[in-house]
Amino acid sequence: MIPDSFELGPIRPPSEANSLLIRVTKNCPWNRCKFCHTYKGKKFELRSVEEIKQDILAAKAIQGKLKEISWKAGYGGRVEEVAAAILNAPPNEAYFNVALWLYHGGTSAFLQDANTLIMRTPELVEVIKFLKQTLPGITRVTSYSRSKTAAKKKLEELIQLCEAGLSRLHIGLESGYDPLLQYMDKGVTAADHIKGGKNVVKSGISLCEYVVLGLGGKKMWREHAIETARVLNEIDPDFIRVRTLTIKQGMPLYDEVKNGNFVRATDEKIVEEEKLLIENLDCHSYFVSDHITNLLQEIEGKLPEDKEKMLAAIARFQSLSAEERRNFIVGRRTGIYNDLDDLNDSHKHSLVEHAIQRLSDDGNQVDDETIYSLMERFI
């Protein structure tokens, strides 16, 4: 009997929020990065092809039940209305995921966890083909990978995965600066990043590389920006997505901050770093700032044609008075502001000023530690 549930991993990229989640591997095979806490204390496991297939069949069974409810409710088999109702009170996480997936069209799937590409290629090909055969509405299949794993795969293997239906790989580049990668115990070099990224691009699989703004801290921010741009220029991925460093208990980096080995960069310094990164980018990628941790989410566009537009958004922030920059930073970190235009909303501006008075010791200046803690509430 096919169960009414299936296994789910802890995370997926924001761009895969509406994808069907299929857990192919469990946790992270590297799991040493100082800036990550997601899989700490958890053992990496390869799931069997049979286990994964059973989960795919469970997702199909849930889809079938939602369609059955739709017919009985007079919706003619359309699942959007039923899915919306299920989202309000799902029987379990698997139902919620399937309902959300169907509500948004049911065309995309994301293979979890941290490095699906580490599976043997024939087995991963078998999983992807079975997924698309079982759920033929799926036209897009994506997953996470590590650069080193992509670098070790033969190009022919990546082409096989592309032909099987793997549409996109999300890779955590984080930085292109070797001393920083070593300090963060990332387990890759800039050369690994370039080789792995180029392999993916050559295979025809769409590539999304992630960069962590602020990862260099106060000491290595400049080298982090310049060398990361150099590596990205070599790879020329389809997408560059930026995230801003957050540090929480459970991360090895948390202890590094406490003992003074790592000094965090402020929001204003990170904006300067992002400016330097963009100035040095000479590729044809789409630059995306789609994460709530980023101060300036409006920085987005196609390179190289939108570079000046993105730099203009940074210049707009940097040209504000010290008081208005402070107001915007607090507004973003409290979730009151979405973008720079919100500074012109008098009601929101007043709410932020009240927040500054509450959060500061002197009613005027919110310290950096408070700003960091506000940002990390969202993670």
Residue 288 sits in the same domain as residue 324: no
How far apart CA 138 and CA 142 sit, in angstroms, is 11
Residue 311 sits in the same domain as residue 324: no
In a domain, 133, yes or no: yes
How far apart CA 194 and CA 54 sit, in angstroms, is 36
Residue 100 sits in the same domain as residue 140: yes
Residue 10 sits in the same domain as residue 113: yes
pLDDT at 72: 82
pLDDT at 204: 98
- Residue 60 belongs to what domain range? 1-145
Contact status, residue 296 vs residue 289, Cβ threshold 8 Å = yes
In a domain, 152, yes or no: no
Q: Among residues 304, 319, 334, which one ends one of the domains?
A: 319
pLDDT at 297: 95
In a domain, 258, yes or no: yes
In a domain, 274, yes or no: yes
Q: Among residues 130, 145, 160, which one ends one of the domains?
A: 145
pLDDT at 88: 87
Residue 4 sits in the same domain as residue 61: yes
In a domain, 336, yes or no: yes
How far apart CA 98 and CA 87 sit, in angstroms, is 9
Residue 305 sits in the same domain as residue 326: no
Residue 262 sits in the same domain as residue 339: no
What is the strand order of the sheet 206-213 is part of? Answer: 20-23, 108-112, 140-145, 166-174, 206-213, 239-244, 286-288, 301-302
Residue 277 sits in the same domain as residue 339: no
How far apart CA 197 and CA 205 sit, in angstroms, is 10
Residue 176 sits in the same domain as residue 309: yes
pTM: 0.94
Domain with residue 193: its CATH number is 3.30.750.200
Q: Among residues 79, 112, 145, which one ends one of the domains?
A: 145
In a domain, 163, yes or no: no
pLDDT at 4: 84
In a domain, 315, yes or no: yes
Residue 252 sits in the same domain as residue 296: yes
In a domain, 157, yes or no: no
Instruction: Give the tens place of pLDDT for each residue, 89-119.
Output: 899 999 999 999 999 999 999 999 999 999 9
Residue 232 sits in the same domain as residue 212: yes
Question: What's the structural domain count of the chain?
Answer: 3
Q: Residue 109: phi, psi to the nearest 5?
A: -130, 145
Could you say which residues of the chain have pLDDT below 50? none
Residue 119 sits in the same domain as residue 248: no
pLDDT at 1: 56
How far apart CA 222 and CA 353 sit, in angstroms, is 32
